[in-house]
Structure 1
Amino acid sequence: MKRAIPVLALSVAGLVPVWVYSPGAAHEGELSEVAAPPAQTQQQTQQQQTQQKTAPQTTGSAPKPTGAAPKTTTQQQQTTQQQAQNRTVSGRAVNTSEGTVQVQVTFQGTKIIDVKALRAPNSNPTRMALPLLRQSALKAQSADIDTVSGATATSDGYKQSLQAAIDGAQ
């Protein structure tokens, strides 16, 4: 009996912070990934920035040949058309038992060139499953992908959101 009172008091004192704890904004239980432009667009942007930085200044003398043909207007138009053909569609947010899942799909014509998870549960199985789900979607070019073991709820939500984005693009 002498030990029971201190054990009980210390147990309660240890549990009070657990009961009172509320997660902050950084720990809301969801991953949030900012949608970046596709890799092709980033490369083109970097090339354009490099070309702007290294463009020779006009000094009144004839330009020196560099060995590379300058971009013609037709090539520039094709690049602009390709960028215009890339469109991004967000799927609907799907509530699962683990949390909300939402994806964003980038299309070039009818081809899926990128898939980003905008919202996903913040758990280890989900963090491990997202790259696998993305890779499967890019390979299958559809929402008909395999479920990742250990992240079944996330996989189902991912597939539903992906299908909604594909349907929205048509």
Structure 2
Amino acid sequence: MHRAIPAMLLSVSGFVIVWQFEPSIVATGSGAAIAGEAVNTKRGTVQVEVVFAGDRIADVRVLQAPDSAPTRMALPILREEALLAQSADIDTVSGATLTSEAYSRSLQYAIDHR
């Protein structure tokens, strides 16, 4: 029983590390990257860079973000939402409201200024 708890904790921490791994999409050819506005929150600054391929959002990269567990959890979700929506009209991630709102605002700035 004494070995079960450390084994379970190691398993969970290994899963979290793998879950947070996010391969990046490499834009090729004529992809234009536009940096969004750096949005200050009480938790830190959030800024994204949007890679466009024609009229489509090909990738969203984080340039700045607070170093917190809720933010690290939210960023891959927000990226996926933006790529699916092809806009800044994305849902707020529960537990990371400030980060979500700042991410969306920075994303919208990049879309508006491309």
TM-score range, shorter chain: 0.7 to 0.9
8 Å Cα contact 1:115-1:134 kept in structure 2:
yes
1:115 aligns with 2:102: no
How many equivalent residue pairs? 91
Task: Using structure 1 for the length normalisation, give the TM-score.
Answer: 0.52
Specify the code of the residue in structure 1 equivalent to 2:90: I
User: Rg: which structure is higher?
Assistant: 1
Matches within 5 A, 1:18-167: 38-41=25-28, 83-84=29-30, 86-167=31-112
The offset of 1:39, in angstroms, is: 2.4
Normalized per residue, which structure has more strand? 2
Cα distance in structure 2, aligned partners of 1:39 and 1:89: 15
Query: Greater RCO between the two (CA within 8 Å, min separation 6)?
Result: 2
Partners of 1:40 and 1:157 in 2: CA distance: 24
CA-based RMSD of the aligned residues comes to 1.2
State the 1:97 CA deviation: 1.6
2:27–2:51 contact (8 Å) kept in structure 1: no
Contact 2:50 2:61 in 1 (8 A): yes
Runs of 4+ in 1 over 6 A off after TM superposition: none
User: How far apart are the structure 1 equivalents of 2:111 and 2:27?
Assistant: 21
What is the CA deviation profile of residues 41-78 of structure 1, one whole-angstrom value per residue up to 9, with x for unaligned ones?
Answer: 3xxxxxxxxxxxxxxxxxxxxxxxxxxxxxxxxxxxxx
Give ranges in structure 1 of 5+ residues lacking alignment: 1-36, 42-82
Identity of matched residues, %? 59
User: What is the one-letter code of the residue matched to 1:144?
Assistant: D
The answer to whether the Cα contact below 8 Å between 1:38 and 1:106 also exists between their aligned partners in 2 is no
Relative to total residues, which structure has the larger helix share, 1 or 2? 1
Q: Secondary structure at the match of 2:32?
A: strand
SS in 2 for 1:39: coil
**2:11 maps to which residue?**
none
SS in 2 for 1:133: helix
Give TM-score scaled by structure 2 length: 0.77
